[in-house]
Homo-oligomer: A and B are copies of this chain.
Amino acid sequence: DNINFSVSAPGKIILMGEHSVLYSKKGIAAAISKRTYLHFKEHKQAHEQITFNLKNINGVNEWDFKSVYDLITSHKPLVVDSLKEFNLFTPELLNHDEFVNILRQFVIKKNVESGPKQKSMMCLFYVVVGMLWCTDVNITPFDIEISTDLTIGAGTGSSASFAVCSAAAMYHYIRLKAMQKHGVGEFNISYEMFKPFNVTLSQHYCGFTSQDKEIINKWAYCVEKVMHGTPSGLDNTVCTYGNTVLINMSDGSEEFRKFQMMDAMPPLRVLLINSGIERCSSDLIAKVADVYKLCPEAIDGVLQAMDTVALQFIKLLKEMKEQEERGEITNVYTKLEVLIDIQHCLLKSLSVSHKRLEEIVECCARAGLHAKLTGAGGGGFAFALVSPSIPEDVVDKTITTLYNAGFITDDIVANSEGVVLDIKFI
């Protein structure tokens, strides 16, 4: 049978620490139940096209298989420094800029207009070409179809979940093709010039191990660089590992790590509310930098308070987890609500709120829901925590009230699953 599978990856929201994480303060990000889905379908060798169908940006593109195959086979020396160090596990050794230039030339030749579609194609080719370079598998043409629940370019990790799905799909395809070639067992799947890379090949995969995710995350980060230039790596990490990711948070016992993946934080029901106001994250980051320059001590005071609030928030999530493990009804929601209120005001004090975001927060407050902006602010999204004590009709009414005020709300879950493999058809 032809290879045929689906992967999906979550979007993300920032729970705590917008902007402050850029000043080494603690923050918390969470995967959400809105996801991006990728369906991969292999064709027989006779098929002459590779098809990328990006449903949400109306981006169907067919590519001549031969020319893609040539691209994969012809540019291997591009890899920087010692070829002998490179393999599927070390995409950071690629000469990223040169590689991206080659991909751009390739895509432009096909007359893909510049913009999101062109960038998406370059991203897909980054993993298709880059990951296949690393290996000795033989490929045939395939279709990739991608759709998403996420609003694109709105700060909820749409590009990272796209990147993670792409990397995960290509990784899964490679190990399936390697299995077809080598059979079941542990085999080196690296291309002969490169550093050996052993993978345990199997006929049936039920998902991605933690090493699989490390590979996926690394390639997704490269794709994010194609999309955003110098991403922090947070979004791809959250979209790969899911659940909760702590930022700049040392837990004392281990070495300081920029991101710390938590895999069992309790799910939080939240309303994700779109302010409908477009904003440019980098402008908002510059705005905070300007006010920081003007009043460094005062802004640092605010950032320090944000840090404290973020730390308390994660402590409460851990407490909630322990309470739930002991079968107790959790009592931390009231405190989480206080922290959400405070954090929103602290963000407002950095001048990154917006009239419409304030309207959302007030509208939620009138219903007893506690909301804060999420992401860079200045527009974009807010989220409201839905405590189990809030009656369902109050939630419904709030969503209606928000709708009547021009705000679209999604009733979602934060701290959701990361990248997953779905072997059934979509």
Residue ranges of A at the interface with B (Cβ–Cβ < 8 Å): 291, 294-295, 297-302, 304-309, 311-312, 334-335, 338-339, 341-342, 344-346, 348-349, 351, 355, 358, 362
Contact = CB atoms under 8 A, between A and B. Distances in A.
Contacts of A309: 298, 301
A339 B305 CA distance: 15
A342 B338 contact: no
A117 to B, nearest CB: 40
Given A294-B338, A349-B341, A304 B305 contact: yes
14 contacts: A291-B338, A294-B334, A297-B308, A298-B309, A301-B305, A301-B309, A302-B305, A302-B342, A304-B304, A341-B351, A342-B349, A345-B345, A345-B346, A358-B358
One complex includes copies of this chain to the number of 2
A335 B301 contact: no
Given A342-B349, A345-B349, A308 B300 contact: yes
A298 B338 contact: yes
Contacts of A335: 294-295
Contact of A298 (B298, B339, B355): B339
A346 to B, nearest CB: 6
Given A342-B349, A345-B348, 7 more contacts: A297-B311, A297-B312, A298-B338, A298-B342, A302-B342, A304-B304, A344-B349
Contacts of A307: 301
Given A335-B294, A342-B349, A345-B348, A308 B301 contact: yes
A308 B298 contact: yes
A334 B293 CA distance: 12
A261 B311 CA distance: 38
